Each structure stands twice: as C-alpha cells, then as structure tokens.
Structure 1
Amino acid sequence: MKKHRKLFLVFFSLLLLMLILSGCEKKTNKESTRKDFDSFTNEVFKKEVTQDTITLNFSLANPKNYGITNPPVTFGHYSLSEMKKSLLAAENYLAALKDFSYRDLDSKQKLTYDILKDYWTLEMNSGNFPLYNEILGPTTGLQAQLPVLLAEYNFYTKDDIDTYIKLLPGITDYFKEICQYEEQKSKAGLFMSDSVADSILAQCEAFIADKENNYLIEVFNDKVSSYKGLSKKEIKAYEKANKNAVINNVIPAYQLLIDTLNSLKGTGKNDGGLAGLPKGKEYYRYLLASNTGTDRSPEELIKLLDNSILSNLRALNALTSKDSKIYEEAANVSYPLTKPVEILDYLKSTISQDFPPCPKVDFTVKYVHKSLQDYLSPAMYLVPAIDNYKNNVIYINENPDYQGQEIFNTLAHEGYPGHLYQSVYFRNTNPTPIRSLLNFGGYAEGWATYVEFYSYHMAGFSDNEASFLEHSMAANMSLYCRLDIGINYEGWNIAQTASYLQQFGITDKNTAKVLYTTMVEEPALYPEYGVGYLEFMELKNTAQKALGNKFNLKEFHKFVLDIGPSQFEIIDKRMDSWLKTQK
C-alpha cells in the first residue's frame, strides 16, 4: 500500500507541476496577446491619424505623447488610387486582426476587436462602388465644412501656427484631386444633378465673395493676435502669410471647384435619388449601414419606421383625446431660458437625475459667419482632441430660416446631454485611441436626437405638453427617414413623394418638392439621426421589458455610454450580460 501510495503521490505531483506550468504559459500567452493587440491598434491609430493634418490637429493636442513625430503636412488625398490603398489597408488590418486569439483578450479589447472587425468588413464593401462616393454636398459636404475646420484649427503651440500656414497652400492640389474625381464620375455617368451642383456652387461663391475680408482672414487675425508669447512683428508676419495663402491658394482652390462644377453641369444622368443609378440601390444599402451603424436591411428599416410613425401618431391622438387644446398649448409653450450659455448651464445641472456624471469641462458658444449661414446646419459641435477634451466649442447658426427651431432643444442636442456630454464622457473612460478615430454617425447623432427629444421633459412644460412635442418630433423624424429610403432605395419621384405625404395630411406641393430635394442632395443623412434614435429606443424598450420595475434609466444610459460609439448590433449583443447584472 505504501508503495502504491508513493507512486500516486509522485504522479499527482507531476500532474500538479504540469498544471502550474501550463497555467504560467497560458498566463504568459494572454499577457503577450493583450500587449500585442494594444500595440497593433496603436500602430493603426498612428498611421490613420496622420493621413491628413486637420484630422491630426483635431484628434491630438500632443502627438509626441503618442509616438508621432514629424508627421507630413497635408490635406490628404482624394482619388481612386488612394481609395484602393485604403481598401488594401483595411484588408491587411482584417487579416492581422484575425491572427489574435479572441479568447485571450480582455473585455475592453474584445469590444474593440468586434468594432474594428465589423468596421473594416463593411469598408471592404465600398470597393464595389469606386465612383459612387460624394465628398461634396450642400450642407455636410467638404466644401461647406472645411472653412469651419480651418477657422477652428487648434493653435496649441507656435509650431501649430507654422504648420497651419504651411498647410494652406496644399489645398490647391487637394481640390484638384477632388475635381479630377468629379470628372471621372461625369464620364461614368455618375455626376450629381444640376440642382445639387447649383446648391454647392452657391455655397462656394458666397464663401469667396469678399476676398480681402474673407472669413479665414478675419478669424485667423483674431486668433493669432490673442496668442500669448508672440511679438508684434511675429503677429504681423503671420497675418500677412495667412492672408497671402487665403487669397492665393484657398480662394483659387474654391474657384477651381466652381469652374469644374460649372463645366460638368448637365452631364448628370440622374435627377432623382440613388436608386436611379446603375448600382444605386446596392450603394444605398452600403451607405445606410455605414452612416447608421445598423445591420438592419432597408426593408427591415421600413417596417421599423412605419411602426414608429404609427405608434407616435397614436400617442398624439391619445393625448389629444385627453386634452382637446393640447395641440395649441404645445405650439405656444414658453421656454424658461433663451440665452445659450444659461441654457447649457441649466441642462448640465438638470441631467444628473437620469444621466451618469461626467467630468467638468469648459465650453465656448460661437456663431457661424454670415458667409456660411445659408449652407450650414442650425448648430454644430466640434469634437475635441482625445488628450484635450476639457475645451469644447458649439457653433450656432443665426440664419433667419432657423429661427423657428428652439435653441433650448438644439443645445440639448449639441451640448448637454447630447454631443458634448457624450464625447466628454467617452473620452473620460480612457478608450484605446483608435476608438476615438472611428466615425459612427448613427450612434453619435442617434444619441443626440434621443436626448433632444428627452429634453422637452426638462424644459418646465407639463407632462402632456412635453410628451406631445416629443411624439411630434419623433413622428416627423421617422417620416423623413422613410422618405429617404423611399426616394433613394425604392426610387420614388416627386409625385410618389407627394402621394406618400398626403396620407399624413401634408398636401402642399412645395413641401413635397423641398423634402424630395433634401433627400436627393444628401442621401442617408436623416437616417443617421432617425434610425440611430430608433435603435436607442429599441435598446431601451428591450431593457424595460426585461427588467420591469427594476429598470433604471440612469443605469441604462450608463450602459450605452460606457460602450461608446459603435455598431448597434455590438451594443445589443452585450445587453444580455448587462441585464443579468441589473437583475
């Protein structure tokens, strides 16, 4: 017995040693995998963030802290060859990603892995539509956004001013590439309609109308004169260099774009939505998925939108049944505050009940320059640098056409608890840098729309008034998204658009024309807001049904905010685990 016992003990000791050694090896492999994965994502970040100087400037205040030294000064490139390079890079990134052992990653890395995998897989699909992309657009196009980006270029150090001055002349070659791309689109029969071209042309012409007093000259002079540490001589030299660059490079680049678009007018073969192009429906599917972050097909979204319209109309009817004067009451509500800074301060203090805390930050409210008022949205928030998110800027457009839009709800969308709050909250979670570089319009705009509608309940209105306004806006937003899919995917013309609107009592032909033109000009734009909003509502409804009286709105908001910008399918997959913790 003793002999057998001794053999057993020896065997047991060997087995234990093997387990310990294998455990050490497993632990070492895990540590190595996690370290390598972080290195991989950081290298991808460094490569992508330095593709153009503006992206780098808005992403990082201190690039050297991220291992970035002497990056090229460039606007980047916009050409078919460059698009092919991007596709090849995405293919290589995907291949490298699949080499990592998923199970050895920690939970935060697994989230990043899932996001990157879906992101690059979808990007690969864009290779099927090389000439369908459109960088120009009446409202969100590059030519409309670039002046604001240049005006807000961050001067963290004196080197940043030097880089900015060095950057401006590069706009000539960049716009040449855009013009060549538009010429290629024209030859392929994929050029924009004349009405869209006219809208872009009007915006460009307004921007360069007063050459000597251009917006970029005025703003630069204000910024550089207030920069501490510069001598009067240096300030004058900078002002002169900037003015020369604006007059001799920026304005001629916009003039080149004007001349090119004018020469190509009339070559567009499609005056309607994307469905009128050879691969238009397929491209719209891709664009819809890319812009919204949803994995639902257009057909599934149509059902979701139809249900949203119907349910919100029913809610409005129910409110009207309770109070026959609710429509008039809601239309004449009085907001407690009207000054932007006061509104933002009020919203910041009020949201603490239903939203998790985020760090204290500064914000500045600015106003869109008159030369850009007709072509920019009612308001915009500039996402801050990853390593400098304490300073935030919100632009308000004082265009008279936007006077009917209440500034209170607009600032809830752009500020608290909208874009500013969500961006600051996410950056404060210290995400891996690559996460902050990815664009998820559906999450960002969906969240901002979700809280914008929520803000009616923070404005001091009665519950019925707030609910009426919320359901009215939600119904309208779903209606716009339905029009976008109908026009760009199902191929509706103006008559079909008008017919669809008539069933909701909208009979004005000019309204139908305006809405039709809006969806044609920038397809899949409204779904970023409306579909994104509905995806958040679907997540919220799922949580409420699963948790019943245990549902806590603040905890739900924390759940979606902690995950951060991503595809909605990824958030949905993680909801089961979160629900278990809540139960």
Structure 2
Amino acid sequence: MFEKYWDERAQLFPLEATAQGDNRYNDLLPNDGTQAYREAQRQFFQQYLDELKKFDRAKLSTVDQVSYDIFRYEMQMRLEGLKQLSWMMPFSQFNGLPISLAQYGAGTGNQPFKTTQDYDNWLGRVRAYPVWADTAISNMRRGMRAGVVLPRPLVEKMLPQLQAMVTADASKSIFYGPVTKFPAAVSAADQQRLTAAYQQAISQQVVPTYQKLHDFLKNEYLPKARTTTGISAVPGGEGMYRYAVKYWTTTDRTPDQIYQTGLAEVKRIRQEMEKIKNEVGFKGDLQAFFTYLNTDPKFMPFKTPEEVLNVYRGIQARIDPNLKKMFGRVPKTGFEVRQTEAFRAATASAQYNRGLPDGSRPGIFYVPIVDATKYNVTRGMDALFLHEAIPGHHYQISLQQENTALPKFRRFNGYSAFSEGWALYVESLGQDLGVYTDPYQRMGALNTEMHRAIRLVVDVGMHHKGMTREQAIQYMRENRSIDEQGATAEIERYMAMPGQALSYKTGQMHILGLRSKYQKQLGPKFKLSAFHDELLANAAMPLAIAEKTMDAWAARQR
C-alpha cells in the first residue's frame, strides 16, 4: 500500500517528484489552484486513510506500526489542510511557484537538463505556467472579495521579484541558463531546435506571465492588500493559525503555551549574552553591544562572495575529525556550498537543498550574499553551517533518503519540527565539534538560538495576539544582533508562512529533552553517537511518534 501510495502521489505532486529524483512527470505542472485539483487531493488522501484502516495495527511488525502511525497522521493532517482558505493566497515574496519555477528553470536546481528529453520536458512545464498564473489571479480576486488577502508590505516585495523576470532579450533571462550549457548528449540539430524553442517560450510564455502577475498585483491587488499583520485578521484566520501551529510543530501545544516558552527562552539566552558581553570587556548595555557587533568594520572582513563561501568550506574541514566521535553513520550523498541566486538573494534566508541518494545531485547549502563587504562574521557562521549543512540538514535528510529499509513516504517526507528541531539541536554541539572557540563565535551561536526563541514570541504575537509588523521587527532587534534589513526580511517571512517559524525551537527542545531523559535512564550505558544514529535512522516524524520510537530504543539499551 505504501509503495502504491508513493507511486501515485508523484503524479499529483510532480514538482516534488522531480526534487526527489523521480523523473517520470518532469513535463507536468498541475494547475494546483483549481477546485478540481483540491478535490482530487481530498479523494486521494481519504482513499488511503480508508485503506489504512483495513489493516490490524496490532498484527504489524514494530517498524510497520511506526509507519502506520506516521501515515495515519499524515493523511489526517493533509485532509484538514485542504479545508483551509490558503488557496486564496497562492504565492508570496517567500514561497510559491513564481519563485520556485525560476529555481527549477535556471538549470542549476532540481530540474535535470542532461538529455534532449530533459530539455523538452521543461518546455512542457513552461507551457502550463500561463494557465497556472490565470488561476492564481482568479483565486486572489476571490480572496479580495472575501477579505483573505496578503499584507501590503509583502505585496510590495513581490513586485520587484516578478519584474526581475521580465526581460526584452530572452538570452538575458534566468530561464535561458540551460541553453548556455548544452551537454554533449544533445545533438547539434536538437541544440538548434531547442535554442529557438527556449527563446520563444521565454518571450511568449514566461516573460508575459511574470509581467501579467506583476501588473495584476500592482494595479488591482496592492490597493486591496491588508494593512493588518497577522493571519487572524482575515475571515477564518484564527482557525487557519491553529491548524498552522499543529501542522508545523506536530504537537497539540496552544499558541499561548508556545508564546510563554518563547518569553522564557529569550530571557535565558539574554543572560548568556550578558555573560559574553562582560567576558570581552564591553562597557555599554546589551543593545549597544549588538550595535557594536553589527557595525564595527572588523566584523566585516570580506571583499568578495567567494571569501564568504570559503569560510563556510573551512568550517567543514575543522569539524570533520570530531564528527566521527558523534556519528556512527555518515551520508554517502555529496555536498556543496553555493551562493544564492541573485534574483532571490535579498529576501532569501540561508537554506539547504536536498541531494539525491543515487549521487546524481549533491546536497547544496545556499548562502545569500547581497553585499560581501557587509557580510558579518558575528552572525553565527559556524552555527549556521552546523544547522543548514553538516551535521544538520545534510546528515538528517541524506541519511533518511539513503535508508532503503524504510518505505518511500518516510524516506522522502519531512516534518519541519523534526528536521528543523534536529538542525537547531546540532548547533548546541558546536564546542564538542571544535568550533565556537572564541567569545564572538559563541555570541554568534547564541544569536542564532536567540533568533529561534524570538520566533516563538513574534509568530504567535503577530498571528494570535495582535502584534504589528513594526513591533515584531523592533522586538527582534531589541533581543539579538541583526540589522534593519535582516530583521524586516525575517518578520515578513513569518507573515507569509504563519506557524512555520515555531517548528525550530519546539523540535530542538524536544530532542534536548529526550537526550537528557535517556542520559538519566541509561547512565554509563548512554552513548551519544548511538542516540544520534537511532534518531536519524528512523527518519523525520511527528515528535510524539519520535519519542515513542526512541523510548523503545532506550528500553533495548537497558
């Protein structure tokens, strides 16, 4: 049943299939904003939930019982998600097809461009984009009538993003990238045919569609965009936020409980920051210390993006000897550090793009560098690398994908609370891994952890407690070292994706709690590398199910 589910799911979500290396539907771009498509999803998930219930869980093996629990959770959450009105806001400055299409089409992302067929497949996707955009516009108009619209500051950020895709010369488009580097497998005749086809697709389909979306947002949507900040301001928004909190944290914790945890964590981390400020002999208050870290030229030593990237590559070399003590299992998937593409760098966060288990695509750590001369070393470069790259997302996602003993829906699925929780947890391993060797690096690590604690306060604050965008930006700047542009991009990201920012700290604290519990239970029998290996071997899952599987592991150790 799991095999059948995953096989059929690929056709429903072909972009996800491409990202996972399943190339059967690389020419498909479903019109996912239609009611018919949402109904097809509802029937699909309901059918598999009904099929699951035919199995007697008690008669399954231990591994299959865990898969059963995760699958049931997944189907129920998907069905609940389809009841939300988020389809009226189909994309934002932070996510959605207009951004991801450019990442796929650039020739450096998930879409393969190795054969003639690959090139033709992409043309199939591009042809469907104008229809997708017409549906998106129609849905946004329905949102305008219902009052389910994006906040104005986000729409203002979307306009230059869309305009950046509009170019009179097709060869200057990011979508022309694959044409500039045909592989040898594509014949000369095909190269000539495809070059003409790509020029035509860019000038007749891609560019006019981005222009149309831009003009609609500017002329119709922006005047109707809301001046409120949080999702609770739209009709049904309170329910949408409750669902988002459950979806992203995989827990039943209430927004108010999460908010209180955030306040307590901000207070604790501030105390740790005060200690470092005193240790380096800084005389002003914490706010002045943040300003010093943000503005002193000695913390901005870079001249070129390559110099920034080389620091990250150096971290990998430094931690390598100690990784072997903490992990018995190491991924086979390759790994690279790259600069984020220019068109999205201004609104992007550092991120990890998964590789493929067959080795055909490495895991990629993307670093946004708008201006290398302003890139600050006290941002927590060590902690960021541990989180986004090794042993954070790269280890967790690669080991999960490489584990062929698991059904594919577990190998290729993700739960933000688990994967982001893991990535934030490994930041706490920095000193054991041989980084955070001076107070400024430790301050950088505290800064990144503080960032995740602040998220609990501002995300709930904006979407549940009436906090404004400006108050959220101010709160972030009062409690961590970050400049205005950085704080604004972050806060607007949480406005675009309610609840997602809660997953990091929720997951991290859960994993730290499990580690502490088993250290007490097992005493000298507790081995950190065994704990890490077991946690990652089971793949990402909802936190309560993860705890159950780890409890069983601890019982076996005893």
**Alignment pair present for 1:273 and 2:192:** no
User: Once the two structures are superposed, what CA deviation does each residue of 1:381-413 show, in whole Å capped at 9, x if it has no partner?
Assistant: 222345556633333322128722455443333
Is the 1:347–1:412 Cα contact (8 Å) retained in structure 2?
no
User: Once the two structures are superposed, what CA deviation does each residue of 1:280-323 show, in whole Å capped at 9, x if it has no partner?
Assistant: 12211111222233332222222332332233334445566777
2:241 match? 284
How many Å apart are 1:74 and its aligned residue?
2.9
1:344 match? 316
Q: TM-score if structure 1 supplies the norm length? A: 0.81
How many Å apart are 1:222 and its aligned residue?
3.6
- Measured at CA, do residues 222 and 506 of structure 1 come closer, stay the same or move farther in structure 2, by a change above 3 Å? closer
2:437 match? 462
Superposed, which structure 2 residues align to 1:423-572 within 5 Å? 423-430=397-404, 431-455=406-430, 458=433, 460-462=435-437, 467-493=442-468, 497=472, 517-572=492-547
**Alignment pair present for 1:49 and 2:10:** yes
**Identity over aligned pairs, percent:** 19
How many Å apart are 1:516 and its aligned residue?
5.2
1:192 match? 150
- Measured at CA, do residues 434 and 283 of structure 1 come closer, stay the same or move farther in structure 2, by a change above 3 Å? same
2:262 match? 305
What is the rounded CA distance, in whole Å, between the counterparts of 2:319 and 2:116 in structure 1?
36
- Measured at CA, do residues 207 and 129 of structure 1 come closer, stay the same or move farther in structure 2, by a change above 3 Å? same
**Alignment pair present for 1:113 and 2:68:** yes
- Measured at CA, do residues 260 and 299 of structure 1 come closer, stay the same or move farther in structure 2, by a change above 3 Å? same
From 130, 148, 171, the equivalent of 1:172 is: 130
How many Å apart are 1:512 and its aligned residue?
8.2
1:20 match? none
Counterpart of 2:241 in structure 1: which amino acid? Answer: Y
Secondary structure in 1 aligned to 2:147? coil
Is the 1:136–1:200 Cα contact (8 Å) retained in structure 2?
no
How many Å apart are 1:98 and its aligned residue?
0.8
1:234 match? 190
Secondary structure in 2 aligned to 1:207? coil
What is the rounded CA distance, in whole Å, between the counterparts of 2:187 and 2:486 in structure 1?
56
How many Å apart are 1:147 and its aligned residue?
0.9
How many Å apart are 1:239 and its aligned residue?
2.2
How many Å apart are 1:47 and its aligned residue?
1.3
- Measured at CA, do residues 505 and 478 of structure 1 come closer, stay the same or move farther in structure 2, by a change above 3 Å? closer
What is the rounded CA distance, in whole Å, between the counterparts of 2:362 and 2:490 in structure 1?
36
- Measured at CA, do residues 388 and 456 of structure 1 come closer, stay the same or move farther in structure 2, by a change above 3 Å? same
1:374 match? 346
What is the rounded CA distance, in whole Å, between the counterparts of 2:514 and 2:260 in structure 1?
17
What is the rounded CA distance, in whole Å, between the counterparts of 2:189 and 2:485 in structure 1?
56
- Measured at CA, do residues 41 and 232 of structure 1 come closer, stay the same or move farther in structure 2, by a change above 3 Å? same
- Measured at CA, do residues 336 and 51 of structure 1 come closer, stay the same or move farther in structure 2, by a change above 3 Å? closer
What is the rounded CA distance, in whole Å, between the counterparts of 2:62 and 2:127 in structure 1?
45
How many Å apart are 1:508 and its aligned residue?
10
**Alignment pair present for 1:258 and 2:219:** no
User: Once the two structures are superposed, what CA deviation does each residue of 1:310-362 show, in whole Å capped at 9, x if it has no partner?
Assistant: 33334445566777569989968999993444443444454222123224333
1:84 match? 39
From 3, 10, 20, the equivalent of 1:59 is: 20
From 347, 356, 368, the equivalent of 1:397 is: 368
Secondary structure in 1 aligned to 2:541? coil
Is the 1:206–1:372 Cα contact (8 Å) retained in structure 2?
no
How many Å apart are 1:97 and its aligned residue?
0.8
Question: RMSD of the alignment, in Å?
Answer: 3.5
Q: Tell me which structure has the larger Cα radius of gyration.
A: 1
**Alignment pair present for 1:353 and 2:353:** no
What is the rounded CA distance, in whole Å, between the counterparts of 2:281 and 2:6 in structure 1?
57
What is the rounded CA distance, in whole Å, between the counterparts of 1:368 and 1:498 in structure 2?
24
User: Once the two structures are superposed, what CA deviation does each residue of 1:245-289 show, in whole Å capped at 9, x if it has no partner?
Assistant: 122111222122112222122223452211212321221111122
Worse-superposed segment, 153-162 or 512-521: 512-521
Is the 1:488–1:519 Cα contact (8 Å) retained in structure 2?
no
From 354, 362, 371, the equivalent of 1:383 is: 354
What is the rounded CA distance, in whole Å, between the counterparts of 1:336 and 1:491 in structure 2?
39
What is the rounded CA distance, in whole Å, between the counterparts of 2:342 and 2:475 in structure 1?
36
How many Å apart are 1:536 and its aligned residue?
2.5
User: Once the two structures are superposed, what CA deviation does each residue of 1:489-524 show, in whole Å capped at 9, x if it has no partner?
Assistant: 122235764786698599999998776545323322
- Measured at CA, do residues 131 and 157 of structure 1 come closer, stay the same or move farther in structure 2, by a change above 3 Å? same
Q: TM-score if structure 2 supplies the norm length? A: 0.84
What is the rounded CA distance, in whole Å, between the counterparts of 1:312 and 1:185 in structure 2?
41
Is the 2:357–2:398 Cα contact (8 Å) retained in structure 1?
no
How many Å apart are 1:527 and its aligned residue?
1.9
Secondary structure in 2 aligned to 1:393? strand
Secondary structure in 2 aligned to 1:265? helix
- Measured at CA, do residues 361 and 438 of structure 1 come closer, stay the same or move farther in structure 2, by a change above 3 Å? closer
Counterpart of 2:399 in structure 1: which amino acid? Answer: Y
What is the rounded CA distance, in whole Å, between the counterparts of 1:364 and 1:416 in structure 2?
11
- Measured at CA, do residues 174 and 500 of structure 1 come closer, stay the same or move farther in structure 2, by a change above 3 Å? closer
How many Å apart are 1:561 and its aligned residue?
0.5
From 115, 130, 141, the equivalent of 2:85 is: 130
2:141 match? 183
Is the 1:155–1:161 Cα contact (8 Å) retained in structure 2?
yes
Worse-superposed segment, 236-245 or 490-499: 490-499
- Measured at CA, do residues 505 and 256 of structure 1 come closer, stay the same or move farther in structure 2, by a change above 3 Å? closer
What is the rounded CA distance, in whole Å, between the counterparts of 2:5 and 2:208 in structure 1?
35
1:421 match? 395
**Alignment pair present for 1:102 and 2:64:** no
What is the rounded CA distance, in whole Å, between the counterparts of 2:146 and 2:329 in structure 1?
52
How many Å apart are 1:557 and its aligned residue?
1.2
Counterpart of 1:288 in structure 2: which amino acid? Answer: V
- Measured at CA, do residues 450 and 506 of structure 1 come closer, stay the same or move farther in structure 2, by a change above 3 Å? closer
How many Å apart are 1:467 and its aligned residue?
4.8
How many Å apart are 1:204 and its aligned residue?
0.8
How many Å apart are 1:484 and its aligned residue?
0.8
